[in-house]
Amino acid sequence: MPLKRMLVCLGGLGYEVTAENIAVQLAQAAQAEVILLTVVPPIDLDYPEARHVSENWEHLADTNTLTGKSLRQGLETARAAGLQASVKVRNGNVLEEILAEVEGGNYDLLCMGSPYSSHALRQYYTPNITAEIAETDLVPVLTARFTREK
């Protein structure tokens, strides 16, 4: 099965960087199109960055938020590799929005970071989105743990 269209999920916290870099290498070898997706969830904690993201989700890549910077960096990386790349931002429940994008986007591969890269307490009480997506069997999933350079 040829690799023509790849979806790379970005959360903006950096845990997806390894998967993103592998995805760009694969896309470059196959000359596949790369779509960078981020989902803006409903605000569960009211702080300035979350409000800014929520209020500007439709043009998030143009903001100076962590997620906006991550989207721009991902675009730069993919385009520097000579790839056709674009950004897609969805708003809502993260799992539901990724599944909806996968179902409607005709993707050959989904690339996601691993929550096991995180050392935050949040990983113990939030869903493992990567595992839940992989269990659906809608599309092949590439996942990779992020390791900080020393």
Tens of pLDDT, residues 35-57: 999 998 887 777 777 777 777 78
59 is a domain residue: yes
**Which two tokens mark 80?**
């520097």
125 is a domain residue: no
pTM: 0.82
Using the structure block, give the residue that is written with the tokens 């845990």.
15
120 — pLDDT class (breaks 50, 70, 90): low
4 — pLDDT class (breaks 50, 70, 90): very high
87 is a domain residue: yes
When mean pLDDT is compared across 6-15, 62-71, 72-81, the lowest value belongs to: 6-15
Q: Write down the pLDDT at residue 15.
A: 63
Domain span holding position 47: 5-115
138 is a domain residue: no
pLDDT over 50 at 80, yes or no: yes
65 is a domain residue: yes
147 is a domain residue: no
- The count of domains in the chain is 1
β-pair type (85-91, 109-113): unpaired
Write the CATH number for 33.
Answer: 3.40.50.620
Within 8 A by CB and 6+ apart from 4, the residues are 30, 32, 33, 108
27 is a domain residue: yes
Q: Write down the pLDDT at residue 116.
A: 54
98 is a domain residue: yes
pLDDT over 70 at 119, yes or no: no
